Every structure is written in structure tokens, then in C-alpha cells.
Chains A and B, each alone.
Chain A
Amino acid sequence: MDAKDILGLPKISLPIPQEKKSRPQKDSQRKPDGISREVYALTGGVAPLMPSVDVNQLKKRHQPENEKITWEWLSFTNSARKDDLKLYHWVRVVNGAPPTGDYSFAKYNKSVDVIKYTDEEYEKHLTDPSWTKEETDELFDLCERFDLRFVVITDRFSSSRSVEELKNRYYSVSRAILIARAPSPADVSSHPLVKEPYNISQEIERKRALSMVLSQTKHQERKDAEVLSEAKKIMESRMAAKAAQDAELAVASNASPERMEKTTALVDTASPSNIQATSGVAPLMSMAENAAAAAASLRAMRVYLRTYALDKMVQAASSSAGLRTIKRVEQFLQELKVNLKPKVPTKAVCAEHLELRKEILTLLNLQKLLQNKEEGSSYRESSYTETPDTPKRLQRGIDQDRTFVPDSVSFGGISTERVGKRDQKRKGPGREAPSSPANSNKRPRKLKATDS
């Protein structure tokens, strides 16, 4: 009703009656057909648009006319019971004759066939140094009673034996008896007990491993997952490197397995630091590896687009670079007026493009190294100037050096300033350092393509 108000539709004259006076009107719309008014209202007050289940689809119950069915409360016996208890239940009686046959659930009374040995057999085949006859007898009795539920049996066993020991004894005894009783070995060879005997040590180990896995802490789990994923990565890169062995990057692939082995050895904690230790060589090596892996995967694809291949190679080349570096490469390309994705990607163009990108990356890395060296040297400089005990002569010497000392301090100054103002573009030589040589201004600045 509210919905109709909102939509502005005229109210149809079928009111939901709220007054007793309008009940006769309500009756005519009721259409209950055997159910009460309230129940009908639950369905929404209107007949369903479609019947939920077509009655004709349901199977008709087969009940021939001649039979007369009654239900009677009768007693029955259960063949699964050892006593003669007679219980009562409802029985469907057809034409006065009750149904025959055993209690329908008696067939589910299955039990295990536990082997019974005689004393002679025990003497002949089943003696064991760690087991007495009494223990063995007790074991078998319990097995029979508890249907080979060894956990229960272990509990009830008089002396304290582990589940595996009990199982071992039971299965080895049964096996021995089977083999002993068999007319020829061939007959029993297909029996599962004979084919696969119980292996106690394996079972103990298996259960120990399971319990370890179960009791692993989250921390341990995560560490395990990390180790596994690293191992997987190493395996994959090893495969890729192997696939690219006949390529001209043979040197890289020879070096990389060594590095990879080092990584596996120190995989828990030291691997990142290890790689960093081989600073200059490692980036180049990893780039060569990645390129080889990328080339191998492209070859495996057999059919691909040139642009896709270029993307993959670019990714491989910049895999060692962070996001900011990649952005700087792209900025550089834009300043050089080169399209980030070539418009005419022929083989030659793509190769040139890739080379260009690699060169820019190298340049940026070198520049970063240089900046680090600068900053390092400037810090050292400032520590010299601040020593308080310097004699006068040294002081004068330092004053004489002032033209140079401010350089380094201003290097440091410029470098730190640079950090702050990193996004500012400065085209001309820096103005902060007063009388410093021209080169020192350009170096701390972010290298621009337009530097000439």
C-alpha cells in the first residue's frame, strides 16, 4: 500500500480489512479452500501464481483394491540378540497375515573374525620373546570383545603397551596363523595380511610426524610455507636457467646455480643479506637470469605478440628495480621523447627500446651510487671539522680550507635538501654553494635528460 502511495498509483478498491464491519467483503476474497484464514494470509493472501509441485508428477501409490491393510502392535524377535528378549512394535498386516522374516535390522550385526588359536599352534608358531602367552590371550580376548578397536583395547590392557605394540602383536600372530594353517603358501599370498604386513616402525614414525604437524604453531607454519615457496622458486628458476643454457647467457646461468645454492643453504635468515653482499655483481647476474627465464618462457609459448614479448623482457630487466626507479625510467623516456610503448613494435624497434631502458636503468643506478658516495664523504668531512682539540695551526689550516669544506657541507646540505625537494626540477646550476666548482652543483641534482 505504501509502495502504491509512493508510486502515486491510484489505490485499487481491494482494501485489506481492518474493521469487523468489512468482514463480509473480506470473506468473498478469502478463497481458503480448506485452510484457515490466518494460514492463508501467511502466504500473502493471494493464491500462488504457479503451483509449487504439479500433483500429476507425483507417483501414485500402488495399492491394489483387493488387499486390506491394517497396522498392529505385535511382538518380534531379533536374531542378533543372544537372549530371547521379545519387544513390541507396529507391524503392517496385509489381509490378516503378519510379515515373515527376521527383524530387518538384524543383518547389520557384523563382527570381526578374530582368529582363535590352540595352545599347540601357539607353541609351534606364535611364541615371541617380548610377549607371554597370557598377554597374547588377553589381547585376543579384548580384540574379540571390542571389535579390534585398539584404542579401547589399549586402555583395558593390563600391562602398559602402546597401541602400535598391540597392533603389531595381533597382526603378526594372525599372519603367522594364516600362513601356518594354509595348505600351501600360494593360497594365502593374496590375503592382505600376508601381502602387506604391519610395519610397526613406520607406524610409529607416521604418527609422530602427524602429531608434529598438528601441534605446529602458526609461526612455524608460516616459516615452513616460506621455505617451501622459496624452494619452489629456486627450482623454477633453475629449470628456466637450464632451458636457456644454450643461449649466449651461458656465463650467467653457470654463476647463478652457485648463488642459488648459497641461497638455499642460508634460506632461513641470511639470504637477503647474502645477496646484498655481492652488490655490484648480483644485480647484473639476476638481470641476466631473469632475461634468460623470460626468453625461455616466450619460446615455450611458441606463438605470441611482439608487444607481449617486449613487456615481458622489460619486466625481467626491471625486476631488481623498485617502483620509484621504474617511474624514473619512464620519466626519463618521456623527456627523451620516446613512447613508453613503441607505436611500431618491429623486432628492431623492440630491441632498441629494451636496450634504451636497460641503459637508463644502469645510469640511474650509477647516479644513486655516486650520490651515496658523496653523502658518505660529506659526513666524514663534517666530523673532521668538528674536533674540539685541534691546535691553532690546524684551525688555521681548516680556515684556509674553508672554500673546500663548505663544498662538502653544502654537498651534504644540497643532498639533504634534495631529499626534501626531490620533486622540484632545477635546470640551471645550483645557487646554494657559493664558490664551488661547476660539477659539484650538477651531481647531487637528479639527473635530467636535458643536461647538456
Chain B
Amino acid sequence: MPQDSSNKHSSNHTDPTHKSRRTEMVRSSDENEKKNLVNKLKDVEISVPIVYGNVAFWLGKKASEYQSHKWSVYVRGATNEDLSVVVKRVVFQLHSSFNNPMRVVESPPFELSESGWGEFEIAITLHFHPDVSDKPLHLYHHLKLYPEDDSGSLSVKKPVVVESYDEVVFAEPSEALFARVQNHPAVIVPRLPAGFSLPPVPAEDADKRKRFDPKDNPLTQWFTNFSEADELLKLAAARQQLVAVSWKLVAGGWKLVQAQIARVRRQLSLIDGQHQQQLKPPSEL
């Protein structure tokens, strides 16, 4: 976005790397509000960790040929937070054999329950609030009803749960959006550099902010807890191992070079010896 040089304030040039920082912040509040909707924060991204998947219960005795399982497909915040801060509605596109295969869920919890017998791919579309994005985001989830192991001990009590973790990244969010979501538990916002301030957003009542009470949603007990710690640990260990192998390689290369040098030296000395031989007889004569 082009900088408006006429309004530059020298006090705001604290961090030279973020040269395109909004300097218009120091202007009057009216202009501020107008600009708020348009200003994009460069090099800033906010991310919303989500988990999407399905939970499927076998109906056991009550199962019929066409309704053997009762399943729910959903999109939730990774720590069970309320996604409606950024998500306006979620559209689940089911198999065409279902009535009204396009199901729209307008309010949290963004989940859909159905009964059936077959596994198929569900197209999940996340529609965001207008100040977040005008483009929807597509996810795909393969509905799983039957457990992985072949013995397939179908139990009525224990459901089959398949979930995927992902994060929705909003690059260069507008200031208004940033201000709106910065304190929401569902959203990860980076710390802004010093000397940069946003207008305060009126704090919502803690009661008003919806939070999923485990008692409200019976599915919560089956949700997987995704922790990045395990993965990070594995990656760190892998990188260490890689470093060790690389050193081996370097050592080997070094030895090779040394061996080559030694060989060449030997050959040179041999050739020298040969020359010495050829030179000797004339002197002996």
C-alpha cells in the first residue's frame, strides 16, 4: 500500500525493518476510523487453529441396512473455542444420495449429524465474516464409519473418531479485524512491534462470549487433543540426527581430499625419482 508521506511522523520510525508500518495512526481519530477498514498490516498474520472431522456411532441392534451408523461431521476450534468470531457459516456438501445434500450451519457449534451406511468425501466450505475475507475456504474430509482394524469390533459405546488439525491463516489482516480478534481465545495473534498501537476495542462481557461447555455438547468427550509439543520434539530430534550424519559426510569428504593429496604427492615423488635416475648415468660416465 503506498505510503502517505505528507503525514509521516518521525516518532514512528522506531523499527526500520517494518518500514511500511502505519504511520497514519497518529492522525485524528476520524481519519483513523476511515482508514481502519482499509489498512492492512504487512508481515502480520493471524491464524485460527481448527480441527475438523467426524464422530461415528454404530447403531448396534437398531442398525438397519441403510442406517447402520449415526455420525456427526464438524468444524471446531482446536481447543474447543467458538469459531464464530471469524466464521460466519459453514456449508457441508454431502453425498448426492442424501436429501438436500447441501447443508448450511449458520451458528456454532458448526456441526451436522446424520445417519447412514456409507463413507464418502464431504466438502466443507467455511464462509467468513465480510471483514475477514470475501473468499470462502474449502476443506475435504473423508467420512469414516468403520474402524481401521480388520477385526472391526463394532461397539455401540465407543465411536470411530477421525479428526484433522489445520490452521486457517489470514495474511495481512486489516487493522479493524486485528483489533476485533486480538483478545479472542480462538485466534492466535502475533505480538505487534513496540511503538505500534491499535485503538482499544470495547471488551466483551465474559458471559456474552460463547464458550462451549462440555455439558452442552455430548461429542466433546470424544475430541482429540492435538499438541504440537510431540511433533516439535520429533522434529528437533530428527534435525539433530541429521546434523550428526552431515558431520560424518563432511569428515568422509575431508579424508577423501587428504587421501587424494597424499596420492598426488607420492606420484610426484616417484616421477622425481625417475628423473633422478635418468640424470645419474651421464654424471657417472
In the complex, identify which listed stretch (A26-34, A137-145, A264-272, A299-307) lies at the interface while the others stay far away: A299-307
Q: Which chain B residues lie closer than 8 Å to A401 at the CB level?
A: 263, 266
Q: How far is the CB of B139 from chain A (nearest CB, A)?
A: 7
Picked from A339, A363, A440, the residue with its CB within 8 Å of the CB of B249 is A363
Closest-by-CB residue of B relative to A332 is: B242
Task: From A302, A345, A448, give the contact of B170 (CB < 8 A).
Answer: A302
Closest CB-CB distance, A41 to chain B, in whole Å? Answer: 43
Residue of A nearest to B40 (CB): A302
Contact B169 A303, beta carbon cutoff 8 Å: yes
Write out the residue numbers on chain B whose beta carbons fall within 8 Å of the beta carbon of A338.
234-235, 238
- Chain A minimum-CB-distance residue to B248: A451
Cα A440 to Cα B133 in complex, Å, equals: 59
Interface presence of A162 (CB below 8 A): no
Contact assessment for A349 and B169 in the assembled complex, using a CB-CB cutoff below 8 Å? no
Contact yes or no, B232 A303, CB < 8 A: no
CA A381 – CA B226 in complex, angstroms?
Answer: 57
Judge whether A337 is part of the interface by a CB distance below 8 angstroms.
yes
Asked whether A393 and B274 contact (CB < 8 A) given A338-B235, A342-B231, A352-B236, the answer is yes
Inter-subunit contact A302/B259 (CB<8 Å): no
Distance to closest chain B CB from A166 (angstroms): 56
Chain A residues with Cβ below 8 Å from B171 are 298-299, 301-304
Contact status B165-A344, CB under 8 Å = yes
CB distance from B107 to the nearest CB of A (A): 21
Report the Cα distance A359→B246, complex, angstroms.
9
CB contacts under 8 Å to A, within B198-239, are 226-228, 230-232, 234-239
Residues of B within 8 A of A345 (CB): 165-167
Q: Which residues of A contact B170 (CB under 8 A)?
A: 302-303
Residues of chain B contacted by A24 (CB below 8 angstroms):
none
Binds B, one of A69-77, A202-210, A317-325, A365-373: A365-373
Q: How big is chain A's contact interface, by range?
A: 35 or more
* Binary contact readout A335-379 vs B (1 if CB under 8 angstroms, 0 otherwise): 011110011111111001101100110010011001001100100
- Does A409 interact with chain B (Cβ within 8 Å)? no
Q: Does the CB pair A303–B239 fall under 8 Å?
A: no
Residues of A29-52 whose CB lies within 8 A of B? none
When A246-B19, A309-B169 are in contact, do A397 and B273 touch as well, CB less than 8 Å? Answer: yes
Task: Evaluate contact between A439 and B251: CB separation under 8 angstroms.
Answer: yes
Chain B 123-153: CB-based contact to A (< 8 A → 1; otherwise 0): 0000010001101010100000000000000
Instruction: Write out the residue numbers on chain B whose beta carbons fall within 8 Å of the beta carbon of A391.
Output: 274, 277
Min distance, Cβ A339 to any Cβ of chain B, angstroms? 8
In whole angstroms, how far apart are the Cα atoms of A393 and B234 in the complex?
Answer: 59
In the bound complex, CA of A404 to CA of B45 (Å) = 59
Whether A449 sits at the interface, judged by CB under 8 Å, is yes
Instruction: Give the residues in chain A near B237, CB-CB below 8 Å.
Output: 336
A443 interface residue (CB < 8 Å to B): yes
Closest to B126 in A: A303
Contact B167 A303 (CB under 8 A): no
Contacts of A437 in B (CB 8 A): 255, 259
Q: Which of A347, A349, A360 contacts B231 (CB 8 A)?
A: A349
Q: How far is the CB of B232 from chain A (nearest CB, A)?
A: 6
Which of A240-256 touch B at CB < 8 Å? 246
Closest to B262 in A: A404
The 10 closest A-B pairs by CB, nearest first: A306-B167, A336-B238, A352-B235, A303-B133, A346-B228, A397-B270, A443-B252, A439-B255, A344-B228, A439-B252
Apart from A303-B169, A303-B170, A448-B245, what 16 extra A-B contacts exist at CB < 8 Å? A301-B171, A303-B128, A309-B169, A343-B165, A345-B166, A346-B228, A349-B232, A360-B242, A363-B249, A373-B256, A374-B256, A394-B274, A439-B252, A442-B248, A443-B252, A449-B245
Can you name 25 A-B pairs with beta carbons within 8 Å? A246-B20, A298-B171, A303-B135, A303-B169, A304-B169, A306-B168, A307-B166, A336-B241, A344-B165, A345-B165, A345-B166, A345-B167, A348-B228, A349-B232, A356-B239, A363-B246, A370-B252, A393-B270, A401-B266, A404-B259, A404-B262, A443-B249, A443-B256, A447-B245, A451-B245
